[in-house]
């Protein structure tokens, strides 16, 4: 549940506002690369992403879940993002709602100033119960109408991912049906489609290094063949590097053996229409390993900066590496960001497919 919050009036503090996620993904499609969508909850994570984007000259998607919005009470998140666009004017950055559970949550994010929302109608509003196709189409369509009238991008999801994170998820995997995906995109008019191909949220995605039996990359190829103009999204796409897991455990952590999505598989996806790659777990592992190291090696330290600085640096290094892996590095200056008003006009005149 969202914490009670003041009704936010979006304010523009600088001349370079947040940009449309649709434009970021369209540009990525023409350039043949993917864009990482990195989850944030606090200032240090936003700083880590923006510094990595500057170093690698990358356009980027910053995303916040319902849990993150509650944690930051929305208002802090909004102002931190305003600081980000003010301090990094050369970086195109979209602010995206991850896993909106119902139209009201998506609408509140749009009112706050998010330039993109995910309506996850693959689950009912409780974020747990797998929903019917009809329910998914209805709620997604409703959000698309509201969002596109304001120039805001919409991501939908068909099929369910494994894993439960922040109380979200059914814990069951239902792979995306390619034929149904075509119907879903046609009915709803979404900009981007999250596909379930066997990935899960959280650190424990696979019981062993994944192969084609558990990670259905061929499904992505099939969906892309049928929907060549739809931007595909891979959720739960942290790679869970073994050295990060080992570092957490070396300094007193108790993570079980964990495997993520190998970089090569993500790059294969990018060659077949994947434009947005969601990464959260890897950032968490990098931060936790760095903090644990300080606690173990410098037990006398008690200034939060003593451990938050190395934590931020560790996440920044990880994000910069991902930006290189996904191919977004070097593309920040490729295009002039369109305003949401310009995007609204494009949707209204069907200059972008709706």
- Closer to Zn ion by Cβ: residue 206 or 347: 206
Q: Which of 74, 98, 120, 282 is catalytic?
A: 98
Q: How far is the CB of 176 from Zn ion (least distance, A)?
A: 13
For residue 27, CA distances in Å to 31, 107, 218, 334 come to 6, 26, 24, 8
Query: DSSP 3-state assignment of 10?
Result: coil
Q: What's the chain's length in residues?
A: 354
Active site residue 98: yes
Which of 98, 103, 73, 97 has the alpha carbon at shortest distance from 3? 73
- Closer to Zn ion by Cβ: residue 48 or 233: 233
Q: How far is the CB of 347 from Zn ion (least distance, A)?
A: 25
Q: Nearest residue by C-beta to Zn ion? A: 235
- Closer to Zn ion by Cβ: residue 231 or 235: 235
- Closer to Zn ion by Cβ: residue 51 or 124: 124
Q: Return the percent helix, strand and coil in the chain, to nearest 5.
A: 45, 15, 40
Could you give the string, one character per residue 27-56, with x where binding to Zn ion holds by CB under 5 A and - elsewhere? Answer: ------------------------------
* Whole-angstrom distance, CA of residue 257 vs CA of residue 138: 40
- Closer to Zn ion by Cβ: residue 235 or 247: 235
Could you give the string, one character per residue 218-237, with x where binding to Zn ion holds by CB under 5 A and - elsewhere? Answer: -----------------x--
Q: Map the footprint of Zn ion across residues 249-268, applying CB under 5 A.
A: none
Applying CB under 5 A, what is the total number of residues that bind Zn ion?
1
Cβ-contact 314, 349 below 8 angstroms: no
* Whole-angstrom distance, CA of residue 129 vs CA of residue 297: 45
Handedness of CA 197, 198, 204, 209 (dihedral sign): negative
Q: How far is the CB of 66 from Zn ion (least distance, A)?
A: 12
Q: How far is it between the farthest Cα atoms of the chain? A: 62
**Element at 247 (helix H, strand E):** helix 242-250
Q: How far is the CB of 140 from Zn ion (least distance, A)?
A: 15
Q: How far is the CB of 199 from Zn ion (least distance, A)?
A: 9
Q: Footprint of Zn ion on this chain (CB under 5 A)? A: 235
Catalytic residues: 98
């Amino acid at each position: 549940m969202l914490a009670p919050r003041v009704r936010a009036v979006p304010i523009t503090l600088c001349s370079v506002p947040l940009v449309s996620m649709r434009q970021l993904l369209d540009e990525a499609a023409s350039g043949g690369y993917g864009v990482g969508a990195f989850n944030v909850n606090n200032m240090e994570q936003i700083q880590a992403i923006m510094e990595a984007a500057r170093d690698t000259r990358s356009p980027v998607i910053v995303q916040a879940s319902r849990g993150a919005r509650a944690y930051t009470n929305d208002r802090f998140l909004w102002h931190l993002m305003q600081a980000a666009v003010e301090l990094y004017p050369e970086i195109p950055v979209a602010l995206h709602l991850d896993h909106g559970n119902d139209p009201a949550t998506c609408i509140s994010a749009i009112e706050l100033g998010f330039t993109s929302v995910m309506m996850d109608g693959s689950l009912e509003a409780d974020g747990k119960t797998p929903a019917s196709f009809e329910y998914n189409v209805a709620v997604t369509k409703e959000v698309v109408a509201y969002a596109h009238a304001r120039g805001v991008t919409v991501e939908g999801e068909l099929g369910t991912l494994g894993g439960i994170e922040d109380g979200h998820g059914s814990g069951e995997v239902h792979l995306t049906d390619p034929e149904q995906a075509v119907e879903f995109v046609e009915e709803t008019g979404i900009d981007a489609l999250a596909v379930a191909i066997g990935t899960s949220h959280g650190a424990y995605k696979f019981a062993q290094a994944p192969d084609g039996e558990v990670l259905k990359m061929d499904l992505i190829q099939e969906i892309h063949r049928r929907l060549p103009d739809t931007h595909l999204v891979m959720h739960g796409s942290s790679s869970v590097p073994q050295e990060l897991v080992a570092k957490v455990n070396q300094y007193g952590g108790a993570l079980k053996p964990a495997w993520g999505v190998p970089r090569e598989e993500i790059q294969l996806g990018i060659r077949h229409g994947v434009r947005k790659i969601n990464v959260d777990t890897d950032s968490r592992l990098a931060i936790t390993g760095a903090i644990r190291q300080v606690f173990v090696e410098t037990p006398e330290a008690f200034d939060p900066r003593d451990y938050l600085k190395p934590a931020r640096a560790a996440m920044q290094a990880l994000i910069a590496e991902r930006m290189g892996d996904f191919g977004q590095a070097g593309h920040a200056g490729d295009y002039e960001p369109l305003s949401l008003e310009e995007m609204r006009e494009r949707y209204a005149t069907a200059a972008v497919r709706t």
